[in-house]
Chains A and B, each alone.
Chain A
Amino acid sequence: MESDEEDFVFYGTPIEREDDLLSRKKKAIAESSGQLRTLPAWKQEVRDEEGRRRFHGAFTGGYSAGYYNTVGSKEGWAPQSFKSSRKNRAEFKEQNILNFLDEDEKSVGYLIGGRGSGTTSQFDTFGFTAAEIARKQVEKEQKQRTKAMCLILVSLVHLAALFHLKPSIIPGPAPDEIVVPVTESVGVKLLLKMGWSRGRTIKDSHSDALYDARRQARRAFLAFSSDDPKVEVSESESVKGDIENFPEEPVNDDVQFSKSTPYGSFGIVMCDVYVLNPKQDLHGLGFDPYKHAPEFRENKRSRIANKSGLGFSSRDSLFGLKSGKAAPGFGIGALEELDAEDEDVYATGYEFEDAYVQEVEEPSTLRLENQTKKEKKDQGDLPGFRVASNSDYKMERFEAPLVPKDFVPRHEFSGPLDINRKTYEVTPPDAPPPEDGNLKLLIEGVANLVAKCGKLYEDLSKEKNQSNPLFSFLSGGTGHEYYARKLWEAQQKHNDQTSQQLNGKMPPSVKKLTAESRGQILGEKPLEKSSQIPSSSVASTDIQLQFNLTDTFTKSASFSQLTNVENPFKDDPAKQERFELFLKEKYKGGLRSASSSLASDMSEAARAQERLSFEAAAEAIEKARQGRGSKLLSPSSMDFIPGGVMQFTSSEVEPKKDLKAEDILRKKMYPKREEFQWRPSPLLCKRFDLIDPYMGKPPPVPRIRSKMDSLIFTSDSVKGIKVDDPETSKKEISSLPQSTNEDITKSITENKTEGDVKVENIERPVDLYKAIFSDDSEDEGGDSGIGRVDNQEKKAEVANTALSRLIAGDFLESLGKELGIGVPPDMPYATQKSKNIALQKELVNEDTRTDILKSQNNDEMSLNHDLPYDQQIAREDVPSKGDTIHGNMRESSNVNSKGNSTMNYRPDKSHEENIKDARKVKTPVTHRRDYNSSSSLEEEKNRKCSRHHRHKRRNEGSDSSGDDERDRQHSSRSKGRRKGSSREKSRSEKHSKHHKHRKHESPNRSSRYSNEKDNPHSKNEKRRRE
């Protein structure tokens, strides 16, 4: 506490006892030095620990103003004796901390490394710690080893001194020391890294011991030195001494070290040990810009090597950073994570890399040492060492393997194909086909197959059809010769084809064709001919020119297409001639000359071979012609290019046309305008100073008219029936997946029921009630047979049709709008629905929960009995309650469309989103109802529960989704009704909820309800009896 008080400033005067006052006053003040601060500075007094006043003013000193606090000796100061500065010019006196230390401080070892200071061994840079001692032991050993080398180096020192080099090569055993196995302090490590070698002092090199060494080497240099060597501070004299006998004892590290250490780091002489890799850049310690790109390091090194010597650029500034180098979007704070959007997508703002490299290559400072270094670099990094001509950093690079020129990128299969090829080395003679046409066909077919699939196939079929006389040709029966011939032909053909494909040895025309056809396949567009100018006049001349060209090319009118390019055998004129003959024969019809006279000198086999090749070539040409023909037939190009023009002309016009056509097509497609309904929020309208187009209209649905239509104009709705009816049949597969959108379905079911109500009130179809209530009573009997399901469904269908008839009309329209689909009022959502259905049906079919959903539908249907109330409300409160009703209607239309038409709630996305929209709008209403649902009729609830219970039973086991939703419901609602499984309960609760809402909305409904309830019940009874 006291110590605390000492530091505080006190206000006010402490109360003191009078008797003590005089005697203790001063002491008290002295003791609580804090109190001094209450006084102004000029009133404060300094006292010693006994409270005595030791400092005095010049006139208040008195006796006690002795030497105590001033001079430190009784004699006081002695005036300095005069010294003439004539001889001794003003010296630059070196001071060190010891000059300013008192004896006691010295004794404490204040600031002096190792003595009394508490640094740990690790941070004890120069301390005489155990580690240091141990290290020195090692050093001593090393000393022995390095002595010989050092002696050599010493001579170098002198040499260096001659050249005014900083004697940085003084042979500190640095390399050895670095490897010293003993732990070193951090400071030593750092120093070593910075180029310090043990035993050297850390001092500016001027005036240091090395200087003395230099002096010793050559006196002449003294004149040039900036310092007077004689002026040595006392403590450095010891060092000097050491250094002076340095030549004799070059490795006198220990002595030197020990002598210099008492003075801490202050007496240590800096020596210019050449640092192998001095840190000259502005990077952070340990940062290696080339870490992942050693190539650049090489680059830089070579550049530096080129520059070395005198070429110091003036660019070295400490602020070498170009401002632009900072990331262009520099504003990202340190705390913000850098993610993708922070990338400089423009990336072009700054020449980042340039700046980077430039910055790197500058040595940051210009120093004399550098120069020496540079000079030394010429000789080598270290005396006795040379820069390696090849660096370790060289990346090992491997040449890409040389592909032999004759290499064909094709895999040879050693399979049956090859075998086959060899099998029929000898050409089988041309055999007449068997008389039997079928057999001939069979043989040919088999031959082709075998040629294609390999010998294996032949063997197989042989084996299989051993007993079959038809296949006797395989094993040497009738037609075997023909088969052999055919097989050979087929094989030749096949091999030719494959080899053509693989070897690229095709005749040029064929090659060209394939490229083009491939292009066609890939949808590529042939290059446009540059000379082609899309102006009509030029085009016409062009065409003429082409005509002329073709004239020159073609040999006969019939072969106009057969241009030079397409002559497959032009290297062999005789063969070409034969080929043309062959073509003539082939295409002109008539009888073939039995054997071409031209090739009479050829062997049978050669002729056969040749014919096959001709065949192939002709085929190829034919194909080309066809392709061209088809192109020519394209209407656009027809105008410009008459039939005989060469192929490339057609291809050059065509793409343009294609492009244009595409363009036109795209233009036709886009822009595509669609119009949807969009409901601006009232506030937005207000802020835009516009009248809300939906003002006064129910939130979800835009137009009141639609509601009225749906209620009154049933004729409209009749149209909808047709559309709906077929869809009701799909109800079996309809599914209302109660997946994530449970609440959607919820609201939908709710609304559906409401919508249904309206319908009923208008028409009151008896069967609807029956459908609703009859099964109710049935099921209450506890029957849950599957056969009943059908029955129920049927009823539900009936009900649905009835409902849809009523609702379809304008609801559909509004629904269409809601869903963002422009549906004309007459053609309701059927189309859209069917679309959805088509998409979803498959899904639904696969849905394992189909039956669940079905039953859910039933649930909804069964809920219809509630509906009358809503309907009632709607009728009664049309003006006032328009909003809610309208919403209900709209949603009911939604529901109906979906429910009746097998509404899948596995909706495609847009649909879903639309629903979402609807739901968004809707939710507030439902919420309100939820909260309002406080009062409920027990009987209703019970009945409902039971019904739902029944349905649930059916659903049990398969109903897996929507649990959470139910839970929510559950939690939000009263928990009084717990029946059966939680699932059942929740379900029932859900329904009861809907029920409740309705009730709440119209108090008079309840009475209504009871009436009607009775009614349907009785009806049900009736029906049952029937």
Chain B
Amino acid sequence: MSVEHLPRKEVNVLKGHEGAVLAARFNGDGNYCLSCGKDRTIRLWNPHRGIHIKTYKSHGREVRDVHVTSDNSKLCSCGGDRQIFYWDVATGRVIRKFRGHDGEVNGVKFNEYSSVVVSAGYDQSLRAWDCRSHSTEPIQIIDTFADSVMSICLTKTEIIGGSVDGTVRTFDIRIGSEISDNLGQPVNCVSMSNDGNCILAGCLDSTLRLLDRSTGELLQEYKGHTNKSFKLDCCLTNTDAHVTGGSEDGFIYFWDLVDASVVSKFRAHNSVVTSVSYHPKENCMVTSSVDGTIRVWKT
């Protein structure tokens, strides 16, 4: 994919959040996107048409992460109120709240079957919550992290968490092993490549690191942006050809996956770009920022 195919044209600005937007995520098929922010709301958008569809209010504090099931029927969200909310998308009602984290919850994800919500918390733990039963207790608590767990990523068989202690830990359920890759720098964000072979870890030394999952080898480092104090997201493009991520100066960067050169950067927001999410199939991207906007980018 050449540079021209990178989504660099702003097609929509989604406004509605008051205050910083902390995360914006495409849903499974990329037709919708979810955002959450400091105004304690979660919002559902159609980014392609720039329409605000629904607002989910129940959180008591800022909402830090949100994820939607693959069938788009349920949401999970987490935030500063130390709870994980399990929502019904259509009605906007909270089906369940999972309490138990001792600190703010930084990230949530559904597993493949939407039967488990795994959350990553400031209390240095990952917790898996059961959506199927009515148990309020977590299925499992993983507390081998030495510091706040910032981000989480699930595959069919693994739970991957990135922590401020500098490790990306992969918990393989199938094998029953924990693989800890110490990067030496606080990890802000972990995201998987689309082929599932690599982990992209955003570190607080203004570097994104690409790890080979099977060997733990550091494949590449992507630099140029600024990320020293905020939790910023990063991800790979849908073709895995480029790496993209926001910067604290409002820029969005695109790196070539292989040679780590900055192939494109442009100013997308007035303020810190907190989150980037790439469309699973098309060349489309949504970015969210502290300036309260979510922008949709296309080629």
Contact = CB atoms under 8 A, between A and B. Distances in A.
Contacts of B128: 681, 684, 687
Contacts of B132: 687
Contacts of A330: 18-19, 39
Given A328-B18, A346-B271, A671-B218, A691 B139 contact: no
A684 B20 contact: no
Interface in A648-699: 666-667, 669-681, 683-685, 687-691, 693-694
Interface in A877-920: 913
A328 B174 contact: no
A671 B182 contact: yes
A669 B185 CA distance: 12
Given A349-B271, A670-B218, A671-B183, A684 B173 contact: yes
B24 to A, nearest CB: 15
Interface residues of A, number: 42
A687 B230 contact: no
Contacts of B139: 681, 683-684, 687
Contacts of B156: 688
B249 to A, nearest CB: 10
A687 B177 contact: no
A675 B179 contact: yes
B123 to A, nearest CB: 13
A348 B130 contact: no
Contacts of A693: 173-176
Given A330-B19, A345-B230, A349-B292, A676 B181 contact: no
B209 A671 contact: yes
Q: Which of B111, B132, B142, B290 has the most CB of A within 10 A?
A: B290
A674 B173 contact: no
Interface residues of B, number: 56
Nearest to A820: B144
Contacts of B29: none
B177 A691 contact: no
Interface string A384-405: 0000000000000000000000
A673 B178 CA distance: 10
Interface in B41-85: 60-62, 80
B130 A673 contact: no
A688 B178 contact: no
Given A328-B19, A348-B271, A671-B211, A689 B113 contact: yes
A675 B167 CA distance: 12
Nearest to B229: A345
A156 B115 CA distance: 86
B283 interface: no
Interface in B172-205: 172-185
B273 to A, nearest CB: 11
A349 B38 CA distance: 11
B39 to A, nearest CB: 5
Contact of B142 (A329, A669, A678): A678
A341 B140 contact: no
A782 interface: no
B183 to A, nearest CB: 5
A340 to B, nearest CB: 11
A678 B216 contact: no
Given A670-B218, A687-B116, A689-B113, A702 B180 contact: no
B182 to A, nearest CB: 4
B264 interface: no
Given A328-B38, A329-B39, A671-B218, A679 B272 contact: no
A677 B180 CA distance: 11
A346 B272 contact: yes
A590 interface: no
Contacts of A691: 174
Interface string A308-352: 000000000000000000001111110010000110111011000
A449 B115 CA distance: 81
B196 to A, nearest CB: 15
Nearest to B274: A346
B8 interface: no
A688 B157 contact: yes
B1 to A, nearest CB: 28
Given A675-B179, A678-B171, A690 B140 contact: no
Nearest to B203: A670
A332 B61 contact: yes
A181 B171 CA distance: 80
Nearest to B211: A671
A705 to B, nearest CB: 14
A674 B179 contact: yes
B174 A690 contact: yes
Contacts of B142: 678
B39 A331 contact: yes
Contacts of A676: 144, 177-180
Given A336-B60, A683-B139, A913-B144, 7 more contacts: A328-B20, A328-B38, A349-B290, A677-B178, A687-B115, A687-B128, A693-B174
Interface of A: 328-333, 336, 341-342, 344-346, 348-349, 666-667, 669-681, 683-685, 687-691, 693-694, 702, 820, 913
7 closest A-B pairs by beta carbon, nearest first, are A673-B216, A693-B176, A678-B178, A670-B184, A346-B290, A328-B19, A329-B38
Interface of B: 18-20, 38-40, 60-62, 80, 104, 111-113, 115-116, 128, 130, 132, 139-140, 142, 144, 156-157, 166, 168, 171-185, 209, 211, 215-218, 229-230, 270-272, 290-292
8 contacts: A329-B62, A348-B290, A671-B168, A674-B179, A678-B171, A688-B112, A688-B116, A690-B157
